[in-house]
Amino acid sequence: MPADPLDPITLAVIQAGLQQVCDEMDLTFSRAAFSPVIAEADDRSDGIYSAEDGSLIAQGSKGLPVFVGVMQFSTRTLIARIASGETAAPEPGDIYIVNDPYLGGTHLMDVRFAMPVWRKGRIFCWLSNTGHWPDTGGAVPGGFSASAISAEQEGLRLPPVKLFKKGVLDAEIWAIIRSNIRVSEQRIGDVKAQASALLVGEERLGALLDRYGDDRVTEAIARMRDLAARQMRAMIGLVPDGTYKARAMVDSDGVVNEPLEIALSVTKSGPDLTFDFAGSSPPCRGPMNSVRATTLSSVYLAMRHIFPDVPISAGAFDPLRVVGIEGTFLDAAYPRPVSGCAAEVSQRIAEAVFAALVKALPGRVTAAPAGTSGNFGLGGHDPATGADYVMYQISGGGYGGFAGGDGIANGCSTIGISKAPPVEIMEQKFPVLYRRYGLHEGSGGAGQFRGGFGLDYEIELLRGDARASFVMDHGRTGPQGALGGQDGAVNRVEVIRGGEVWVPPHLSKAQDIALSPGDRVRVRTPGGGGYGDPANRDPAQVAEDVALGRYSAEEARRLWNWQG
């Protein structure tokens, strides 16, 4: 007899169940990880992917949105390489590792694991996750080499290989990895956490399949993809037909001190949207190139921000067409360096999407957020513990103002939910002291609804010598205001050594800065752009900002013509 048709309630339960599997993987990964960037900052993501083409089935709600598309592309590449014989075919218990940016990735520090889920002797789907490792080798501790001109300077590049074979860690491959990265003895904690998350996912998914049956879940997955595509097209229907243009600027590539331009035209014609990046800057010498997978994923995550109610599924991407990236710095090929692509360039791409579509959807799109992850790497030797260390600091910034409200202060980056690790944890694990940790007052762009404020922190090295590196952005121009709003304040980096203040020539990009005990680094992240004409702001709101010390009275008079 034919199976009963899949009713909406069962479909919703299966969809929620798949989401729960991913959420439990996320939770397991963070709880078990050793590195603060994963355990505290949640710089990771987990998902379920199709066995046929690697397309996204479900992703954890607390995973980084930029990894939504990226892991889809990396899983698709892995499946293709297995089919062609370039990569060894899987057996039960195998887990692959890959961080090659040019094979559907981001940068080298984002290390991906992938594991097939077997049912009745065949692969039902793939589970995959990504975790940011604090170091993968290369020229500088932390991997963010601001002046790298080739991929080899950025770290160890791994094609898809089996790190676990039939459930056992491959000692030889692990030895190769350990021999090429710093503080390698600490990475086993992250490796086991990453693998454990996949094993938890396998167990939870198996229980779901046992309850509803493989065929019924397969049918639900197909329905989920179709519904996501239909919902995205329904949202696109809110965009009036036409072409909307915008641009966004990257400060520099870290090598050539000139800005890079992202030129974007978004065209709505029929049920789909076309994102055309023709006219963007050509490939650059430094590490601010973006690989194709990251570029496409950046468009996807921008649309997730605009239409957050569309379910996370490959179907949501079907109506989004990206063209015009060939021959630009948004389609990097080996050996172009790419350490800044996921953390920085991706956010400039999203900013361009926001700036274009705010004209078409003013009630749904915000002014530009801070748009930088504030990548700060510090590596050295701690004489108190006798051990080497690599510290990686990310930081938040202001969100853009929007129709009906001011931007959030010190929010997470555009690309995800990652947050700055707690000060107490960083001071416990590394020989540093946070001399300052507060809001970057006055950094929100003026508008009818002002931008949120960035972060202002200052770190002092307490003991031993160390080397600092930065790959940040928005130091030359601030996040864009919208519909008459002003830009947010720029990112500011200062290094204080021997009482003298040094500002990097590239403003927020530098590497291999020698620090001694007592030296300090101060970072002030950007504020969000303002939304709407500042002249229309409620004077009472301006007065409140002044009373709370967010802006001086002089600033309020200049920005809002305040009469107080």
Distance CA(355)–CA(249), nearest Å, equals: 12
Give the C-alpha distances (Å, rounded to integers) separating 217 from 27, 68, 71, 116, 315.
23, 21, 21, 17, 16
Spell 525-563 as b/e; 16+ CB within 10 A means b.
bbbbbbbbebeebeeeebbebbeeebbeeebbeebbebe
Residue 91 has pLDDT above 70, yes or no: yes
Q: Are strands 260-269 and 272-276 parallel, antiparallel or unpaired?
A: antiparallel
Give mean pLDDT, residues 485-502: 96
DSSP symbols for 23-41: HHHHHHHHHH-SSHHHHTT
In the numeric block, which tokens belong to residue 55? 């397309």
Residue 529 has pLDDT above 50, yes or no: yes
Give the global pTM. Answer: 0.95
Give the C-alpha distances (Å, rounded to integers) separating 117 from 24, 44, 51, 129, 506.
16, 21, 9, 14, 47
Distance CA(237)–CA(232), nearest Å, equals: 9
Lowest mean per-residue pLDDT among 1-15, 152-166, 284-298, 386-400: 1-15
**pLDDT (tens digit per residue) in 178-199:** 999 999 999 999 999 999 999 9
pLDDT of residue 69: 78
Residue 1 has pLDDT above 50, yes or no: no
In the numeric block, which tokens belong to residue 421? 């690790």
Is 275:320 a contact under the CB 8 Å cutoff?
yes
Of 358, 328, 375, the C-alpha closest to 154 is 375
Of 395, 401, 348, 297, the C-alpha closest to 63 is 297
Extended beta strands in 406-499, E state? 432-440, 454-461, 466-471, 492-497
Distance CA(421)–CA(170), nearest Å, equals: 32
Is 519:433 a contact under the CB 8 Å cutoff?
no
Nearest 10 degrees: Cα torsion 426, 428, 431, 437: 40
pLDDT of residue 342: 87
Q: Furthest-apart CA pair in the chain: how many Å?
A: 82
Distance CA(288)–CA(101), nearest Å, equals: 13
> 270 or 278, which is more confident?
278
Sort 179 into a burial class: Cβ within 10 Å, 0-12 / 13-18 / 19+.
exposed
In the numeric block, which tokens belong to residue 280? 């963007």
pLDDT of residue 514: 96
Is 526:370 a contact under the CB 8 Å cutoff?
yes
pLDDT of residue 2: 44
Is 194:113 a contact under the CB 8 Å cutoff?
yes
SS3 content of the chain, % helix, strand, coil (to 5): 30, 25, 45
Residue 394 has pLDDT above 80, yes or no: yes
pLDDT of residue 414: 82
Distance CA(42)–CA(161), nearest Å, equals: 25
DSSP 423: H
Measured at the alpha carbon of residue 31, what is the angle toward residues 424 and 398, in degrees to the nearest 5? Answer: 55
Alpha carbons within 13 angstroms on the beta-carbon side of residue 404 total 4
- Backbone φ and ψ for 355, nearest 5 degrees, come out as -65, -30
Is 436:456 a contact under the CB 8 Å cutoff?
yes
Give the C-alpha distances (Å, rounded to integers) separating 283 from 42, 133, 247, 249, 329.
31, 26, 17, 14, 4
**pLDDT (tens digit per residue) in 285-327:** 999 999 999 999 999 999 999 999 998 899 999 999 999 999 9
Residue 561 has pLDDT above 60, yes or no: yes
In the numeric block, which tokens belong to residue 554? 């002089």
Distance CA(74)–CA(114), nearest Å, equals: 9
Confidence tier at 67 by pLDDT (50, 70, 90): confident
Q: Mapping DSSP to helix (H, G, I), strand (E, B) and coil, where does residue 108 land? A: coil
What is the pLDDT of the chain when averaged over all its residues?
95
Give mean pLDDT, residues 335-360: 95
In the numeric block, which tokens belong to residue 270? 């029929």
pLDDT of residue 247: 97
Instruction: State the helix-helix crossing angle for 553-560 and 539-547, rounded to 10 degrees.
Output: 160
pLDDT of residue 3: 58
**pLDDT (tens digit per residue) in 203-259:** 999 999 999 999 999 999 999 999 999 999 999 999 999 999 999 999 999 999 999
Of 436, 443, 438, 441, the C-alpha closest to 459 is 436
